[in-house]
Amino acid sequence: MADPEGVAFMTISELASAVGVNEATVVRFAASVGLDGYPGLTRLCRERLREQAQLLRRYDNLEQLGAEDGDLLERTVWLDRANITRTFARITPESWDAAVGVLAEAPRVHVMGLRKCHAPAYLLGYLLRMVREEVETVTAGAGTLTDELRRVREGDCFVAMAVHRYSAQTVRAAVWARSRGARCLALTDNPSSALVPSAEQVFFVDAAGASVLRSLTAFTALVQALAAGVARHRGQDVRAALLQEEELLEQFGVYATDPRDPLLP
């Protein structure tokens, strides 16, 4: 009830572990509410997920939450803590090392996320540019998607981010990048995501939220961790890049040095 989006794609063992019971208890619970075992429970949650994909339905849920609980802030914090915990619990050391390796070593990295996933995609591109060269954020602005995809080469890394409902442009771009020989990483929400078939490595990110749009808190945490992993992987190269960055920031006066200066806006 608290997180149908997460339950919709959990295995029975994952759900049992998440709530601290054994698998038989999960089966008995599903049967007790008139469902056809655990498959019936996941099917019900997936139907709810499809309904909640509609913005107006999610707004109705937000209004109902405010009327019933009144503590939207507390519920939002609780959900985001759970999102981060479940997201990182799914990551194996092998998949983590493989993803960090390709992000650090590929000739060029292309990062794409549109609509609600634009923010974490922009953040990943920004952070990676701090620690390595040749990083592009694909924005598909003003009809330039095909121009940006022309720069994707064999051996490059293409990072695609999308949650249900999946941006058609992001899905098509990931398919095309894979066909070009790029090594594709996906940050998405569940195993049935349209990004999964194109990806070499997939990170499933929980996005349960009480607001009109789904939460991107776990996306942000994962993106920052990936950038930190790339920085550590590249070692001394990063030190030189950051030193040059600091020199440029100082030379161009990017940041205010004294907030008490009356001439500052």
Each residue's pLDDT tens digit, 118-162: 999 999 999 999 889 899 999 887 778 888 899 999 999 999 999
Each residue's pLDDT tens digit, 95-122: 999 999 999 999 999 999 998 899 999 9
**Please, is 181 exposed, middle or buried when counting C-beta atoms within 10 Å of its C-beta (0-12, 13-18, 19+)?**
exposed
Q: Give residue 50's identity as a one-letter amino acid code.
A: R
Helix %, strand %, coil % for the chain, to 5? 60, 10, 30
Structural domains in the chain? 1-52 (1.10.10.10), 93-250 (3.40.50.10490)
Each residue's pLDDT tens digit, 146-202: 888 999 999 999 999 999 888 999 999 999 999 999 999 999 988 888 999 999 999
d(CA 175, CA 159): 11
Each residue's pLDDT tens digit, 202-255: 999 988 876 656 789 999 999 999 999 999 998 877 777 778 788 888 888 887
Radius of gyration of the chain (CA): 21
